[in-house]
Amino acid sequence: MNKKIPIGILGATGMVGQRYIQLLEDHPLFEVAWLAASDRSSGKKYGEAAKWRLDFPLPTRIAEMVVAPAEPAGAPKVIFASVDAPIAREMEPAFASAGCAVISNSSAFRMAPDVPLVLPEVNASHLEMIEQQSWRKQSGGFIVTNSNCTVMGPVLALKPIADSFGIEQIFAVSMQAVSGAGYPGVPSMDILDNVVPFIRSEEEKMEEELMKLLGTLDGNTVKPLPARMSASCNRVAVVDGHTVCVSVKLARPATKEQIIAAWNEFKPLAGKNLPFAPEQPVQWTPEDDRPQPRLDRNRGRGMAATVGRLRPCNLLDWKFVVLSHNTVRGAAGATILNAEMLKSLGKL
Amino acid sequence: MNKKIPIGILGATGMVGQRYIQLLEDHPLFEVAWLAASDRSSGKKYGEAAKWRLDFPLPTRIAEMVVAPAEPAGAPKVIFASVDAPIAREMEPAFASAGCAVISNSSAFRMAPDVPLVLPEVNASHLEMIEQQSWRKQSGGFIVTNSNCTVMGPVLALKPIADSFGIEQIFAVSMQAVSGAGYPGVPSMDILDNVVPFIRSEEEKMEEELMKLLGTLDGNTVKPLPARMSASCNRVAVVDGHTVCVSVKLARPATKEQIIAAWNEFKPLAGKNLPFAPEQPVQWTPEDDRPQPRLDRNRGRGMAATVGRLRPCNLLDWKFVVLSHNTVRGAAGATILNAEMLKSLGKL
Amino acid sequence: MNKKIPIGILGATGMVGQRYIQLLEDHPLFEVAWLAASDRSSGKKYGEAAKWRLDFPLPTRIAEMVVAPAEPAGAPKVIFASVDAPIAREMEPAFASAGCAVISNSSAFRMAPDVPLVLPEVNASHLEMIEQQSWRKQSGGFIVTNSNCTVMGPVLALKPIADSFGIEQIFAVSMQAVSGAGYPGVPSMDILDNVVPFIRSEEEKMEEELMKLLGTLDGNTVKPLPARMSASCNRVAVVDGHTVCVSVKLARPATKEQIIAAWNEFKPLAGKNLPFAPEQPVQWTPEDDRPQPRLDRNRGRGMAATVGRLRPCNLLDWKFVVLSHNTVRGAAGATILNAEMLKSLGKL
Amino acid sequence: MNKKIPIGILGATGMVGQRYIQLLEDHPLFEVAWLAASDRSSGKKYGEAAKWRLDFPLPTRIAEMVVAPAEPAGAPKVIFASVDAPIAREMEPAFASAGCAVISNSSAFRMAPDVPLVLPEVNASHLEMIEQQSWRKQSGGFIVTNSNCTVMGPVLALKPIADSFGIEQIFAVSMQAVSGAGYPGVPSMDILDNVVPFIRSEEEKMEEELMKLLGTLDGNTVKPLPARMSASCNRVAVVDGHTVCVSVKLARPATKEQIIAAWNEFKPLAGKNLPFAPEQPVQWTPEDDRPQPRLDRNRGRGMAATVGRLRPCNLLDWKFVVLSHNTVRGAAGATILNAEMLKSLGKL
């Protein structure tokens, strides 16, 4: 039996930090060994520092851990990070310089030319980029990122389509859960009996991250997918689960059956020993009125994207709806899966 | 002082029927004189037959009225109708044959070649089509319809754009309120903490009705706007107010300022004596995060469409968000405005 | 025609401050002339300083007003205040000392022995207490308060019962709207698909304020009603409108009909010229399943309390449900009605 | 290894029926072998007959089962029932007469003098009553019931208090989830931005069932607990989980610590082999603002009641808040636990 790898969490009190803790409870490879958050929390017991918001009891062992200062000294060599971009911009390089593997959900470095933006099902090969990072060469440390939560569902659904038929244009309109804005996040006055048709910087992130994820590694940089995309992002009264209406123009014609087959056959991680990899990462549902966040977000223990309503689009070629759990698949689970992939590649 | 025109309501107990009653209370031209609903309600007092769901006290006079059988005998000559399509398909011609002006919110005859589908701000000239209806020639009766509630906001926003710059392609994704499904309508188990990405026949209605509304009268039929449209419809946890994300490809280039000016200057009914016509039918809001249903649905006493977030679209030319009150502007108020328009044209 | 009295608003950018602005638009006696808020807002235009959250367009005149520093210099002589207790504790006496009539919704001085806590329908006579306030004697200024928003509905419903039958014990369990917590207030993660069975200090406020409101003026202090009360407060997913389940033990027996009659006949302000006084402050509804916040909160333009479900209680004597609009009747409207009452008494 | 007992479900397509299926998937003792529902569903595959509303994929084996007519012929000997009272009143005796063990969540026979109303943690001894049922004597069949979903949390919390200190008076105000009303159940127009302060017959059920559950077996009938109770029931915008504010008057004084100890030590089923019995049926939470439905309903896999906010009551002695999952602990899980208890007693 292997010893588990101790990991640290930067941003441990936030919504995604809480999900790391929940999802790593009983994880076969990793073990939470260090928790850091803002100065305000540092020195307190985690159970007092965090306002625990999950439907899963905070493990006693974690509640009793003392929140450490957010500094590399004393931190383990593997760090899961989910902090605001301005903080990430300073801290993540500091930890990488100190020799840490920084596996990050933060947005700060996702589009940096030498930082891989990876979902293992989509572009695991991009992880090789870390070998050229200056941190890696100096201290062994590196930074790897996963995408924004809203990109996650669409890119999983689009990857097998891109591989089989090519993609030229994408239209995406999201209806996003409030947990994506963290805690306290969205005021209830803004979401009860309401829709907020705006999430700052979200449309830009969707449009650029999706192209990098579907891009090709060219030497040591990623050539983004040469497709055009228009994204519109909305906040709705849902706790967890982002729903996205997607239309797509293909490079080569495809029938409905062919697209569904592409989804059903999409199992790029089969056979690899990755505990968080869902058996079926894209799950097709034939019902008229699915996917729905409350009913489908927990498929594949929250790691699968559910697709439905595939039908012709009058402007592009096909349209469909895709749903994924924004704090599991779209954030904490994505980081963990990246870590598992890095481990299987011998990079942790 | 003119005497008010007595009107009857077909489908008086439904959600739209209730809105007719609310909106006609104190109307300067029309007066509710007759209420009809299903056989189950017939013979009961309205106050007992209807499950009143509006935030407006049911007027005592109306509560005491006895629900009539849904037959032309005894009905007044002007009928506001909002009933399910299969029922409308039988009843509305029966009332028109009997000489009634049937001003309808039902979907049954919206796309019939000899029936005008009209929003007065958009295509009031189409009302002339009634003169060729067989009912009109025989008994003086006719059928006029207004559009589906989801079309209403987009078509108001698109009309001034179409007039100034031409429209070639439209993308629309809706987030619709539950009141649009009537009562009991959407089960709460389906909408709390959830989105339902499907509303039966709604996408088809949006795509075809919008083209007829923006079409041109050619002899006695409407030549639909020769544009292509792709609509996706979703139900969200909102009581009233449909929000639609729209992208549009223009025939001729337009700047952001020109489009906003087109909206601001769009006052096609100014100077006509139409009590329900909003002074400013399309209201531009410059805030980042508007329109929002809870905050904007009651603009223009529920009869205005609010537009915001105008920005370039990476695929088409421009995208924006439009919101309108689905049971006022999108249903009962639209019928009333059609009636006011017909009256001003001397057809009632 | 009288000239309107210029009034100032302390806490103008908050939820209740916004309601003052809305409700005073077109008020026959008062006119908003001065707006003050925190230092952060001071010097900005109101339209920029406030995050306007009401379903009512911010009047342009108000949007253009510059937010003043929260100091008596330059303020008008009548101040409507709604600020957090620690701030009120400092500011309200400062304004009163400077000769201002401070008519307050803040909680700081509600229980102060020389400050009247008044709802005009319930205990207008308590307003005389201001004549003994030291501020009044020195500068003419004074402080008058209205109660906590959750007390408002129950105390209106209980006043006619207390007058007719006496009250010995009260049980109250509230289900409160999120607007009562201000903005940003309750995080949406806490209220979607949830109930929060706790609101800090609310139960204590209910229990003590209700007794002072129903108390008797004895010389210059209020002798609280000698009854016992147990309150439990909960937050639910409602935008506006607090619903309270009340049980009551009477001093003298009463029938259901007698209690309903007491409510129906309760019109203590009839004949006084108070524009915000609802014609029928307590409105009985005989339906099984009412009152409901969405349907009943706007009765009497938001100033009436609605009562329903009167039935025997197995432990005390009678139980019923009462609902009132928490930011209109329960806050801003209560302040305005107090001001109207003070004016009619010649004290403004 | 024992063979599993085949069970049938009466009312299989309803919300509770769906929970039976979910909870019995992988149950060590029972196996779903037969599904019956209304005539409308009979003969269809379950996957087509049921509108599956759970966040748990419908097992393929179940989806393929054909719904049987609701008749004893062909049914297994153990029946889990959850049907409307009028239907239960006819069907459950028919199945019992045919020799079936009818373990029911329906309300029809809960208060029948010879039918046990049982929660195993509270009054397992009452199960002996079945031996005197006429069905039992004739065919071996019997009827056992569990309580209404709203009673469940309070009775679990009150049982250890009753045992240690005696209970004389109970006040209970509920805030109930929409799943308790089944599907389609509560219209979304009634619950978005709203509270419905009425649930037909619910208050009566709470008041009488709780006394029977806490009653004592006297010969072959139950002597109800001689306490008085007043219940008020409300529907709120929550998917799953009933929250109840409870006040209680004790027969003998108790400190806060003693009551908490009574809860913590309450493990009446410890050591029995009952897979659905939660290790800790009543879970005390010391946080200010708990229990909350979204955060606490799944404790003990949905079978535990969570209590919090224990504090003195100004009218009775103590008050607290209790929460339990209404379709797991409050319905399907209760039936299953009754079945497990019956099996351990050798009665299945």
Which tokens belong to C5? 């009295």
Which tokens belong to B76? 């007044």
- Min Cα distance B293 → chain A (Å) is 5
Distance between CA atoms of D162 and A223, rounded to whole angstroms? 71
Point out the least confidently predicted range of A10-24, B1-15, B248-262, D130-144. B1-15
Asked if D53 reaches chain B (Cβ–Cβ under 8 Å), the answer is yes
User: Per the CB < 8 Å rule, is A193 touching C53?
Assistant: no
| Chain segment B21-73, per-residue pLDDT in tens | 999 999 999 999 999 998 899 999 999 999 998 988 899 999 999 999 999 99
| Chain segment C26-44, per-residue pLDDT in tens | 999 999 999 999 889 999 9
Distance between CA atoms of D116 and D125, rounded to whole angstroms? 9
Beta-ladder partners of B276: none
Res. D39 pLDDT band, cuts 50 70 90 = confident
- Neighboring chains of D (3 or more beta-carbon pairs < 8 A): A, B, C
What value does the mean pLDDT take over residues C264-293?
Answer: 96
Answer for the pair A308, A287: CB distance below 8 angstroms, yes or no: yes
- The pLDDT score that the predictor gives to residue B39 is 87
Residue of A245, A309, A319, A323 best to disrupt the B interface, most CBs of B under 10 A: A245
| Among D residues 186-205, those touching chain B with beta carbons less than 8 Å apart | 186-193
pLDDT at D3 over 60: yes
Any idea where the domains of chain D sit in the sequence?
Answer: 5-147+332-344, 149-324
Chain C residues with CB-CB distance to B57 below 8 A: 299
**Who wins on pLDDT, D143 or D53?**
D143
Chain C residues with CB-CB distance to B288 below 8 A: none
What value does the mean pLDDT take over residues C205-213?
Answer: 98
- Mapping DSSP onto H, E and C, the string for chain B reads CCCCEEEEEECCCCHHHHHHHHHHCCCCCEEEEEEECCCCCCCCEHHHHCCCCCCCCCCHHHHHCECECCCCCCCCCEEEECCCHHHHHHHHHHHHHCCCEEEECCCCCCCCCCCCECCHHHHHHHHHHHHHCHHHHHHCCEEEECCCHHHHHHHHHHHHHHHHHCEEEEEEEEEECHHHHCCCCCEHHHHCCCCECCCCCHHHHHHHHHHHHCCEEECCEEECCCCEEEEEEEECCCCCCEEEEEEEEECCCCCHHHHHHHHHCCCCCCCCCCCCCCCCCEEEECCCCCCCHHHHCCHHHHCCEEEEEEEECCCCCEEEEEEECCCHHHHHHHHHHHHHHHHHCCCC
Asked if B55 reaches chain D (Cβ–Cβ under 8 Å), the answer is no
What value does the mean pLDDT take over residues B167-187?
Answer: 97
For the domain made up of D5-147+332-344, the CATH class stated in words is: alpha beta
Backbone angles phi, psi at C224, to 5 degrees: -65, 155
Among C197, C239, C319, select the one facing D245 at the smallest CB separation.
Answer: C197
| Chain segment D151-206, per-residue pLDDT in tens | 999 999 999 999 999 999 999 999 999 999 999 999 999 999 999 999 999 999 99
Which tokens belong to A160? 């097998």
Beta-ladder partners of D22: none
Tell me yes or no: is domain C149-324 CATH 3.30.540.10: no
SS3 content of chain A, % helix, strand, coil (to 5): 35, 25, 40
| Among A residues 158-187, those touching chain B with beta carbons less than 8 Å apart | 169, 171, 173, 175
Quote the crossing angle between the two packed helices D149-165 and D256-264, to the nearest 10°.
Answer: 120
CATH, domain range A149-325 = 3.30.360.10
For the domain made up of A5-148+332-344, the CATH class stated in words is: alpha beta
What value does the mean pLDDT take over residues B206-219?
Answer: 96
CA distances from D314 to C203, C215, D106 (A): 11, 18, 37
Residue that the structure tokens 């999201």 belong to: A174
- Min Cα distance A287 → chain D (Å) is 11
DSSP letters, A120-133, are HHHHGGGGGGGGG-
| Residue C27 known to be catalytic | no
Distance between CA atoms of C262 and C242, rounded to whole angstroms? 22
Tell me yes or no: is domain B150-325 CATH 3.30.360.10: yes
| Residue A100 known to be catalytic | no
pLDDT at A1 over 80: no
Residue type for position A332: A
The pTM of the whole model exceeds 0.90: yes
Nearest by Cα to D87 from D14, D181, D167, D190? D14
| Chain segment B144-160, per-residue pLDDT in tens | 999 999 999 999 999 99
Answer for the pair B10, B108: CB distance below 8 angstroms, yes or no: no
Catalytic residue among A27, A126, A242, A325: A242
- Min Cα distance B249 → chain A (Å) is 11
- Min Cα distance A162 → chain C (Å) is 36
Distance between CA atoms of A242 and B195, rounded to whole angstroms? 9
pLDDT at B205 over 80: yes
| Chain segment C232-250, per-residue pLDDT in tens | 999 999 999 999 999 999 9
Res. A276 pLDDT band, cuts 50 70 90 = very high
Strands D30-36 and D5-10: parallel
What value does the mean pLDDT take over residues B306-331?
Answer: 98
Residue B135 region by backbone torsions, left for phi larger than 0, else alpha for psi between -120 and 50, else beta: alpha
- The pLDDT score that the predictor gives to residue A2 is 63
| Chain segment A153-173, per-residue pLDDT in tens | 999 999 999 999 999 999 999
Beta-ladder partners of A144: A103
